[in-house]
């Protein structure tokens, strides 16, 4: 007669599968952060056309023109370091960088529309605040 009751092996398999899926989704969030906010080395073009090109290339102009987006011109490892000790962490999961980064903030111009998004660039050298998950940046919060 076969044993009845809980199936420990099946339960363990389901728990491990759930953990793997959670890690994959967190990795996707980090990859989304990189796509939306890291551009190193800085893509070519002068500041007048930079935002128009990169916002379109990164898929930030559909289905609507994203109103504002900041790009960090530093290697991914330097941005990761904010979440790994090179930043001061506070609150739930926010960390402020200890050092400044080269940044370009793209703001949509009036009368822009999907398919014809026009942006203005603002270049700065400032500290930043990011949200971290498992020691990786997953959200750009603001410029400090």
CA 55 centroid distance within chain: 14
Q: Out of 73, 90, 125, 139, which one is annotated catalytic?
A: 139
The helix (H) or strand (E) run that includes residue 124 is: strand 119-126
List, in order, residues 6 or more apart from 97 with CB less than 8 Å away: 82, 86, 87, 127, 128, 129, 130, 144
Q: Provide the β-strand partners of residue 95.
A: 89, 130
Whether 37 is a known active-site residue: answer yes
Catalytic residues: 37, 139
């Amino acid at each position: 007669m076969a044993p009845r009751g809980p199936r420990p092996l099946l339960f363990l398999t389901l728990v491990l599968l759930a953990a793997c899926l959670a890690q994959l989704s967190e990795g996707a969030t980090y990859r989304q952060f990189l796509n939306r906010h890291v551009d190193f080395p800085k893509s070519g073009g002068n500041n007048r056309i930079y935002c128009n090109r990169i916002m379109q290339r990164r898929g930030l102009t559909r289905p609507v023109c994203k109103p504002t987006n900041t790009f960090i011109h530093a290697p991914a490892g330097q941005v990761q370091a904010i979440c790994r000790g090179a930043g001061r962490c506070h609150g739930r999961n926010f960390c402020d960088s200890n050092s400044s980064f080269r940044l370009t903030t793209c703001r949509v111009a009036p009368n822009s529309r999907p398919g014809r998004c026009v942006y203005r660039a603002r270049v700065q050298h400032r500290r930043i605040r990011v949200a971290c998950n498992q020691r990786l940046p997953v959200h750009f919060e603001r410029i400090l």
